[in-house]
Amino acid sequence: MWQSHGLLFPSTANLVDFDWACVSKSRPIGSYCTLQANLQGGFEWWQQQNPIGPVMQTPNKRRLYTEQEDIMLLRQVNAERPFEAKKGEVMKVWGLVAKALADHEDFARPQFDAKKAQNRSSAVMDNHAHYNRESARASGVAETYDERIALLDELLAAFVDAKEQEKKRLVNDANKVDQSEREGEYIRNEAMNSLGKRKHQECDDDGEKAPGSGSRFTKITTAMQEESKAERGLRQSELEFRKFQLEVEREERQKDRELAAEQARLHHETILAMLGALTKRQ
């Protein structure tokens, strides 16, 4: 026996004790996804014969997502397309995705929220984007174009398009900021030149420096400099805060990617064990 994620599974040697009639005869074995379904059916039968008591539970570990839960999540994400939402509305749309799933009777995750929906979707899509098809073929398992893969392909294409549009928008915004700064600098220079000329004219007319004119000029110049400095400081603070947010999100996505990779590894090892057991029986 071996234990993983709170469940007690039979060892490779005990796989031959499964009721293979409910596994291999109910569905033909010919694809990775079919084998996953067969494996799920076999485990459900085995768990009915060997109930797991509360002592075997490990509540401190996060429960792995099932394939059906991932498909439900991908359907909802494809319907809402949160990555296409306007700036400031993205997490609201992710909230709609999470609420729709949390309220669904077949999605057994009542505490599912916007951040979890975003992180899990990112992990699944990232894992799909880096999927090694050569490794799948080498294992002897044929790939079928099932609903999960179809949803992931469609979402990845839409996600890439949305990111390209976002890049174009950021470039346009940056160009507008640069243009605004140049115009502001030009206006400030013109204002100072105008004040300088006026000061010079007043000195020529009166034959001496006009009382208070130099002080007023200095105050205006200082105010402009302080305003420019404050604007730069505000932009710097916004950039630092955004950098902090991105770092936190990156760490959360990394954790979910590691969890998804571990789940894929366990599925792969279990399928290989089942194939080995089938070969021995033949």
Q: What are phi and psi of 9, to 5 degrees?
A: -110, 155
pLDDT in tens, 138-155: 555 444 457 888 888 888
Mean pLDDT of the 162-186 span: 76
For residues 131 and 66, which has the higher predicted lDDT (pLDDT)?
Answer: 66
Give the C-alpha separation, 67 to 243, whole Å. Answer: 34
Q: What is the DSSP secondary structure assignment for residue 107, as one 8-state letter?
A: -
Give the C-alpha separation, 2 to 118, whole Å. Answer: 32
Radius of gyration of the chain (CA): 31
- Say what the pLDDT of residue 115 is: 92
C-alpha triplet 81, 83, 88: angle, nearest 5° = 115
- Say what the pLDDT of residue 94 is: 93
pLDDT in tens, 231-250: 777 877 777 887 787 887 87
Cα–Cα distances in angstroms (integers) from residue 93 to residues 19, 76, 105, 108, 124, in the given order: 45, 11, 21, 21, 18
Q: Over 80: is that where the pLDDT of 7 sits?
A: no
Q: Over 90: is that where the pLDDT of 96 sits?
A: yes
Residue 64: name the closest of 256, 227, 278, 234 by CA: 256
Highest mean pLDDT among 6-15, 50-59, 228-237, 263-272: 263-272
Give the C-alpha separation, 173 to 149, whole Å. Answer: 36
Please name the residue that has the structure tokens 């420019």: 228
pTM: predicted TM-score of the whole model, two decimal places: 0.41
E-strand ranges in 32-127 read none
Beta bridge partners of 3: 8
Give the C-alpha separation, 71 to 55, whole Å. Answer: 31
Q: At 95, is the pLDDT very low, low, confident or very high (cuts 50, 70, 90)?
A: very high
Residue 271: name the closest of 147, 135, 145 by CA: 135
- Using CB atoms within 10 Å of the CB of residue 94, give its burial: 0 to 12 exposed, 13 to 18 middle, 19+ buried: buried
